[in-house]
Structure 1
Amino acid sequence: MKIEKNKVVAISYQLKVDDGETGMVHHETITDENPFYFLFGHEAVFPKIEAAIEGKEAGDTFSVYLGYEEAYGDYDEFKKVIIPKSNFKEEGKKNKEILKVGRVIPMQDDKGNQMRGEILKVDYRGVHMDFNSPLAGFDLEFEGKIVSVRDAEQEEIDHGHVHGPGGHHH
């Protein structure tokens, strides 16, 4: 079965990141046994990755190089913000478990958009957070394999994402 719009695709890959000093270094491995599932044609992966795998079948391989502007963009200082500590209270009490430096927590902006932010520090001014992707500003290289391709269920198409193994469950 060939990869095209509204197919559920599972891929395995090795991601390398250009660290700016030694060149491409290993960053992440997603295995055949625990692949990444996504709904093709619904902007779940970078456009250049979709272009590289379109028309391929299970067992085929792919290689994609993404400059930082094609991936997570440049590092943006304006994505570093200070949030009042009061926003992190639960039942009127400060949640000390959440407010640990280095922790990445799910957040939502005033428009309801989901995002993840890393806690940089906590001081008298509030919680200093960075909402840049950890890979912002880096060139990326993916070497991978198509693990499986299947027809999407109508509900998956309607929702725009995968349900089931490796995907979203309701």
Structure 2
Amino acid sequence: MEIGKNKFVSLSYQLRLNGAEGDLIEETGADNPLQFVFGAGRMIEMFEKKLEGLKKGDNFDFLLKSHEAYGEVNADAIVDLPKNIFEVNGQIDESLLKIGNMVPMQDANGNRLNGMVIEVTDTTVKMDFNHPLAGDDLHFSGKVIDVREATEQELVEAMGGSCSGGCGDGCSC
């Protein structure tokens, strides 16, 4: 069976930064594979395009340029915020505002964002809301462990639904 839309895919892989000899930043094996429903929009689009058509047992080795992965670094996503917005009950948790910490936040529309603390002054905190891998080329190499039809429940979950509503919500019972 080939990797294609609505197939449940299991992969082992190595992810290296900026080429096949770059720093290893993530690795999965057969005992802890990456598993996902292909075409559900949860993976990098170009990552899926490079895997499409592969079968169980096939090896892969490809590079995604930064613009095909998490994009270039966006200078507009690096912002100075007033330090007082980090107050809880009139106190700022200084351990939260350490350089390199990822801080979960929300924008004005309630969207969740993760920002990295890159500078702290007496009155401001400089945050970088770019993806941590923005600006990096990503080299993937690995093996397709399995490809099968996704179950109804896997499809619902992959599309952001849940199976809490019972048999009538598209889930298997």
TM-score range, shorter chain: 0.7 to 0.9
| 2:41 equivalent in structure 1 | 43
1:52 maps onto 2:50 in alignment:
yes
Question: CA–CA distance in 2 between the matches of 1:162 and 1:13?
Answer: 28
TM-score of the pair, normalised by structure 1: 0.79
Q: Alignment partner for residue 24 of structure 2, among 22, 27, 38? A: 27
Root mean square deviation of aligned Cα:
2.5
Q: Which runs of 5+ in 2 are unaligned?
A: 163-173
SS where residue 136 of structure 1 aligns? coil
Q: Deviations over 1:66-118 (max 9, x none)?
A: 11211121111111112222332233321223111111122222223332211
TM-score of the pair, normalised by structure 2: 0.77
Q: Number of residue pairs matched?
A: 160
The 3 A distance-change label for structure 1 pair 117 and 60 is same
The 3 A distance-change label for structure 1 pair 149 and 93 is farther
1:86 maps onto 2:84 in alignment:
yes
Deviation at 1:61, TM superposition (A): 1.5
Write the letter of the residue equivalent to 1:136.
Answer: A
Q: Which runs of 5+ in 1 are unaligned?
A: 164-170
| 2:170 equivalent in structure 1 | none
SS where residue 25 of structure 1 aligns? coil
Q: Is the 8 A contact 1:11 1:146 kept in 2?
A: yes
Q: Is the 8 A contact 2:4 2:39 kept in 1?
A: yes
Deviation at 1:161, TM superposition (A): 5.4
1:97 maps onto 2:95 in alignment:
yes
Deviation at 1:162, TM superposition (A): 9.8
The 3 A distance-change label for structure 1 pair 115 and 153 is farther
| 1:166 equivalent in structure 2 | none
Report the more deviating stretch, 96-105 or 152-161: 152-161
Q: Deviations over 1:26-59 (max 9, x none)?
A: 2323221222222210222222221222232332
1:16 maps onto 2:16 in alignment:
yes
